[in-house]
Structure 1
Amino acid sequence: MLKNLSPLLSGALLSALDAMNDGDTLTLVGSGYPEQEITTPIVHLGEDVTTEAAAEAILSVLPLDSFDPSPIVFLDLGDEPYDVPDVAFAVNGIASDAELRRVPMTRLELAPFVELARRSAVTVRVGSDAPPCAFLLRRGSL
């Protein structure tokens, strides 16, 4: 284990993050996300890891794109346009804290989300989320 690094940042995950280029996207998905839709390399963080814990670990080392007006996209499966899932609020707060700025998010429905997710550099899968949730995180530069 490395000092001051989350234990969720495994060698496989750190290697995948290091291989990403500026502008590349990481897809973070929970257990409800359809496995057949994942076409990129997958790093599993474990069945007991939450999306929030994974986001906190990833965003502690991954800079978000500051030129993209919305470097985070979340999958919206709800019927209410003004109803944002708690996990989306949490990930947005984690990102804003990590970036020391407000980080805007965009919501997409399943089809356009999956289209973007298929072009991700890597997919990080967690297992403890009951509702389907997924995020796209666009890497920036330091």
Structure 2
Amino acid sequence: MLRNINPILSPDLLHALRAMGHGDEIVIADANFPGSSTGPDCIRADGSSASEVLRAILSVMPLDTFVPDPALTMQVVGEPEAIPEAVADFQTIIDEVADNGAQIQGLERFAFYDRAATAFAIVQTGERRLYGNIILKKGVIA
């Protein structure tokens, strides 16, 4: 255990967050997401929800301020304007915790998968709410 570090941030996850550079992306994925087959390293966080992991990551990682979309979620198939419960929760967490506030942007399902395949890492959570997936772009600490 470490002081002032959320215990959800496992050694593997802390290592990935520290190894990431400005502009690298990390995916927080729900339990249905194909985390192990998408490509990047898959860090397991089965006992935590995506919201818990998002809050923990944003407690130590800055969001990118040089892009208009540092936080991306998967759009609902057939209803791209819908805001699932998990996504609404993500926006609340970003508003409360992120050092640089950002409005979540949506990506079409397969575009989200393609983007996730180029991420630095995927954190596979135990999130059971549908569309509980988010991509974060790492910023800099001034």
TM-score > 0.5 by shorter chain: yes
CA distance in structure 2 between the aligned counterparts of 1:45 and 1:89, rounded to whole angstroms: 21
> TM-score w.r.t. structure 1 length?
0.91
- Could you tell me which amino acid in structure 1 is paired with residue 12 of structure 2? A
Partner residue, 1:23: 23
Gaps of 5+ in 2: none
Q: 1:132 to 1:44 in 2, by over 3 A?
A: same
Q: CA deviation at 1:132?
A: 4.1
SS at match of 2:45: strand
Q: 1:122 to 1:78 in 2, by over 3 A?
A: same
CA distance in structure 2 between the aligned counterparts of 1:138 and 1:132, rounded to whole angstroms: 19
Cα root mean square deviation, aligned: 1.6
CA distance in structure 2 between the aligned counterparts of 1:137 and 1:101, rounded to whole angstroms: 12
Is 1:9 matched with 2:1? no
How many residue pairs match? The answer is: 141
SS at match of 2:136: strand
CA distance in structure 2 between the aligned counterparts of 1:141 and 1:65, rounded to whole angstroms: 7
Partner residue, 2:117: 118
Gaps of 5+ in 1: none
Q: 1:128 to 1:112 in 2, by over 3 A?
A: closer
Deviations 1:93-126 (Å, cap 9, x if unpaired)? 2112222553111111121111111110011010
Deviates most, 75-84 or 106-115: 75-84
- Could you tell me which amino acid in structure 1 is paired with residue 18 of structure 2? D
Conserved? CA contact 1:74–1:88, under 8 Å: yes
Partner residue, 1:97: 96
> TM-score w.r.t. structure 2 length?
0.91
- Between the aligned residues of both structures, percent identity stands at 27
CA distance in structure 1 between the aligned counterparts of 2:133 and 2:114, rounded to whole angstroms: 13
Deviates most, 22-31 or 95-104: 95-104
CA distance in structure 1 between the aligned counterparts of 2:111 and 2:82, rounded to whole angstroms: 19
Q: 1:110 to 1:103 in 2, by over 3 A?
A: same
